[in-house]
Copies of this chain bind each other. A is one copy, B any other.
C-alpha cells in the first residue's frame, strides 16, 4: 500500500512568540509526507527551484519518502513568511513568493500512477483534477483546499470535490464553502457535493469527522507549549491518510482512528518549528499519545496525566 501526495515544498520563514526560523523546510507535501511515512510508503510530487538545498532532499529521502517526483526547475523555490501572535490560531502572512510553484503542472511519474491512496494537498483545484486524470483507480482520494480557491475557483473546486472520497477543511472554510454557519448543516451540504467523508479541522478545538449521516468528535491533544502551528493541518492529513493506508480493511471505526492518528501527528508537529519534532518522534511516542487520547476522551475510567 502506498500514498501519492501532490503539493508544495517550500522554504518557510516563521516568527512565533517562542522563536524564529529562516528558510526552514516546509510546504504541505513535506508536512504530509513526514507524518504519513510512519504508517506507509509515500511518493511525493512537487516542484522546487535550483536554490533548494540538497540537504532537505536527503533529509526526506533518509526518512524514507520517495522523492523521485520532486522536480527541480530553473528559478527560486516557493517561499512563505509568516508570524503568529500569542493566540497562535491564525498566521499573519508577511510575504508569499510563489516562484516556481506558480507554474507547477504536476506530472505523475509512471511508477506512482498505481498508488492506492492519493492526497491532493492545497493547490489549484484544476491541478488537483489533472492529477486525478493521471492516476489509475486509486482506492481512496482525499483533498485539501483553502478560502482562496473557495472564493476564486468555486466551480473548479466543486468539480474536484465530485471526484474525491475525503475532503479536509478548517471550520471557516467549511462554513464559507457551504454558505452556512452551522457546521452540521455545512457538512451535509459538502457531502452532497461528492465526498463521502468530510473532515472539519478546528485547530486547538480538535476535529470533526462526518461520514454520511454519522459524526465523530476528536480532541486536539492539550499542549502547554505550542511552538509553531505551521503544517498542523497537513501533518493531520498525513497521520489520517497514513493510518487508513496501513489498515488495509476500512472497517467500522477506522476513519475515527484515522482522525485520532491525525490529531496525534499534528500535536507532535506543533511542538517545534518545521518538521523538527515530528521527524524525531518514535512509534512508541505515537502509541503512547494514542493511549493518552483514549484516556482524555473516555469518561468511564481514569484521567490522564498532563504535566
Q: Which residues does A use to contact B, with CB under 8 Å?
A: 86-88, 181-185, 188, 202, 205-206, 208-209, 211, 213-219, 222-226, 252-253, 255-257, 259-260, 293-294, 296-307
Contacts and interface: CB of A to CB of B under 8 A. Distances in A.
A181 B87 contact: yes
Contacts of A218: 297, 299
Q: Which of A223, A224, A303 counts the most B-chain CB atoms under 10 A from its CB?
A: A303
Nearest to A17: B181
A253 B300 contact: yes
Contact of A257 (B211, B296, B300): B300
Nearest to A175: B87
Given A86-B181, A213-B307, A216-B297, 18 more contacts: A88-B181, A188-B307, A202-B205, A206-B217, A211-B303, A213-B305, A214-B302, A214-B304, A215-B303, A215-B304, A216-B299, A216-B304, A217-B219, A217-B222, A217-B297, A253-B301, A256-B300, A297-B298
A18 to B, nearest CB: 11
A160 B255 CA distance: 46
Given A181-B86, A256-B303, A296 B222 contact: no
A106 B88 CA distance: 43
17 contacts: A88-B181, A182-B224, A183-B222, A206-B217, A208-B222, A209-B303, A213-B306, A214-B304, A214-B306, A215-B296, A217-B222, A252-B301, A253-B300, A257-B299, A260-B299, A294-B300, A297-B297
A300 B184 CA distance: 22
Given A181-B87, A217-B219, A219-B217, A253 B302 contact: yes
A299 B211 contact: no
A23 to B, nearest CB: 28
